Amino acid sequence: MKFQLRYGLHSIATGFRTLSWTCGLLCAVAAYGQESMRSFAVDTPSVHDPVMAFENGTYHLYSTGNGLSHYISHDMKHWTGCRQGVITDIPQWTHDSVPGFTQHVWAPDIIQFNGRWYLSYACSSFGKNTSAIGLLSKSSLNSDEPWHDEGCILASRGGRDNWNAIDPNVIVAQDGTPWLTFGSFWDGIQLVRLDSSLHVAPGERPFTIARRYAPTHPNVADNPTSDEAGPNAIEAPFIYFHRGWYYLFVSWDYCCQGMKSTYRIAVGRSRQIMGPYLDSHGRDMLKGGGDILFEGDKKEFEAVGHCAVYTVKGKPMLICHGYSIAKGGTPVLVKRNLKFNAHGLSLAK
């Protein structure tokens, strides 16, 4: 969600990412309450859709959960979790955009931009594309300052849009322009240009940059989880820039089914943030291309997915969740080092 590790600019060494289609609703100006100080310690956090940031010696890990889950660590080995979510009061615009939405917030992303931290997140319901991407901000992750509601970045509506406004990843191109990539099923992974407030720039519309299958692909299996979503099983984009290339990471197939999950991570790259993103064989991800980077080994993890990439102490690192076989399919935090070569990249323990 910079191969300084994150196509777009994530650098833990300097604070992580170095650096109509909008909701059509008035955005709340209410602030989010301070997170509860009640905490618990774990070595391997149980998380789904993790992202990470670093500030003044502290790693912050955010993930899907009631109000968004939050863990902190000083060494990335021992984590302390907050028992209360980041978002304590769900703003009214989320209910207006996504009728029936409660408090289970999905797939955050975090970036430092123009000296301020921005946390994006998704509101939706499983198998539907009436969804919205929201935005929070604060000046310091380590302070008691509450998160400020910056409203809705954009929303999708069932029956109107052929894309799904979830799984946000905000990136900053090499020319300083912010972009949002997002998407799940429907017409695949989307990209749209943002303005300096990290909302959709005037006149801009999302466009597709990756699909699970080419539109002409024969005999695609039906979606076993949702008739509405269709068989285009691709989601969770994350763009990272490294040595002249933008790398697009996506998750293929199906999450959220414990030991029956089939999630896996694919990747392609482009010289331009707008694409085309090609795999090592020259296949366009817009037409179903992509190299498998990481998948379940059936020993430690049944499946893995929804990754983010950062530069940690000068080295690229991928984090994601894996469905732990030892824990009966519970999703846990997974970390892997990344190695780049002339043809792409590979994983190392």
Residues known to be catalytic: 49, 235
Residue 52 tokens, joined: 């990470």
Q: What three-state secondary structure class fits 88?
A: coil
Give Cβ neighbours of residue 219 (< 8 Å, ≥ 6 apart). none
Residue 47 tokens, joined: 């998380």
CA distance 259 to 306: 16
CA distance 267 to 242: 13
CA distance 143 to 342: 42
Do 239 and 273 form a contact (C-beta atoms < 8 A)? yes
Give the closest residue to 338 by CA, choosing from 240, 253, 251, 271. 240
| Bridge partners, 317 (sequence order) | 310, 337
Q: What three-state secondary structure class fits 94?
A: helix
Element (H or E) spanning 69, and its range?
A: strand 69-73
CA distance 55 to 218: 48
| Bridge partners, 308 (sequence order) | 319
Angle (nearest 5°) at CA 314 between 311 and 319: 30
Q: What three-state secondary structure class fits 259?
A: helix
